[in-house]
Structure 1
Amino acid sequence: MNDRTVKPVELETEADLEAFLADNDVAIVEVYTSGCPKCQAMAPVLGNVARQTGLAIGTCNPADDPAFTERLDVLSVPALYLFEDGSEVARVADGFLGGDEVVSFVAEHVPEAVDA
C-alpha cells in the first residue's frame, strides 16, 4: 500500500475518486447521503477502521458530483466499495456495518490488505 490515510478522505468529484484510487493499492469508498442516519453512523466506524488497519478510506456523496452515481452504479446508501489496483473487487450495501464487519468484508476479498 502507498501512503495510508488515518481517517477517511472526502472525495468531492469523480476526479478526486480516480486520484484516490490511483494513490492507493487497496481502498474502501463509502457512498453516503447527507440525510441518511445509517450513513452518519458509519462515519466513526470507518474512522476507527482506518486508524486500526491503515486502510485507505474515502467517502463520497453523489449529490456533490452526479458522476459518482454512474461511475459506481449506486443503487442504495450506505454502500461500501472495495477497490484493488483501481478496480472494484467487491461491494456491500447492507446498511450499517460495524468495524469488525468492515474488516471481515475486506479480508474476504483482499486478505493481504488486513492483518487478520
Structure 2
Amino acid sequence: MTDTQPSPRSIPAAELAETLSTTETLLVVFQTNGCSICASMEPVVSNVARETGVETVFVNPRDPPGLVTDYEIRSVPTLAVFRDGREVGRLAEGFVPGEELTAFVREHAPS
C-alpha cells in the first residue's frame, strides 16, 4: 500500500488474457472511448489503485468485440477484480465513489 505501486495503465484487449495469467490480483476497468462516466472514473480509479496497491488496467471491451461476450460486459464502466485469473468481484453501476471502490477492492483483493 505504497505510492511506489505502478499507476493504472491502458492495455490493448489482446493483452488482457496474458495480463490476467501473470498477475496475482488485478482490477480491470472495462471502458469505452467517449463514455463520460468512464472518463470521470479514471482519477477515482487511479487514487484507489495507489491507496490499495492493486495493479489496475483499463481495457476497451469493444476491441475486439469478442471481449464483450467473453467477459459478459453489459455496461461501461464495468470494474472487475480478478485473482489468479478468475473474476472474484464486479461493479457495473455507473460512477462509483472512491470510498466505495476502495472498500470493494479491499474486500475482493485482501493484502
> How does 1:1-116 map onto structure 2 within 5 Å?
5-14=5-14, 16-110=15-109, 112-113=110-111
Number of aligned positions between the proteins: 108
How many Å separate the matches in 2 of 1:82 and 1:89? 6
Check the 8 A contact 1:5/1:57 in 2, yes or no.
Answer: no
Check the 8 A contact 1:12/1:61 in 2, yes or no.
Answer: yes
Check the 8 A contact 2:52/2:106 in 1, yes or no.
Answer: no
How many Å separate the matches in 2 of 1:21 and 1:71? 14
Counterpart of 2:6 in structure 1: which amino acid? V
Greater Cα offset, 4-13 or 17-26 = 4-13
Counterpart of 1:100 in structure 2: which amino acid? E
How many Å separate the matches in 1 of 2:55 and 2:91? 17
Counterpart of 1:71 in structure 2: which amino acid? D
Scaled by the length of structure 1, the TM-score of the pair is 0.83
How many Å separate the matches in 2 of 1:20 and 1:9? 12
- Alpha carbons of structure 1 residues 71 and 11: separation in structure 2 relative to 1, 3 Å: farther
| SS class of match (1:42) | helix
Query: CA offsets, 1:34-73, max 9 Å, x none?
Result: 1211100011111111222211111111232212212211
Unpaired stretches in structure 2, ≥5 consecutive residues: none
Residue 5 of structure 1, CA deviation: 4.8
Check the 8 A contact 2:32/2:61 in 1, yes or no.
Answer: yes
